[in-house]
Amino acid sequence: MDLFSKLLQTKHFEFSAKCDKKSLTGWNGHGHGTVIVQQNDNIITFKEDGSFKLDSYTKFLSISNEYIWQKINTNRISLSHARFGYSNLVKLFDLIRIDDNLW
């Protein structure tokens, strides 16, 4: 499976957040939104816009993120967050191919 090419098909995101009991933030809730995908050679950018609702709050909060997927080689894809801009990316993790259907 060509995972890098599959990323181009992404249109939406959805997630649930659950904090540990020791968390000081209490960011328990659910989020969802849309993804605009752009590709430039071996880099795919996800621009996410959506909303997040805390379990303890009635209103939705606007959220946005930018993630950068970089194809290092056919067996490694790296994910970074543009939290501090494109010149100062925060690396999150690498996906490494184990076999054709397992990363």
- The predicted model scores a pTM of 0.87
Q: Average pLDDT per run of 10 along the chain, which is 103 residues long?
A: 92 96 88 98 98 93 97 97 94 96 92
Residue 77 CB contacts under 8 Å (≥ 6 apart), including other chains: 3, 4, 69, 70, 71, 94, 95, 103
Q: Where are the domains of the chain?
A: 3-96
Res 18: pLDDT: 94
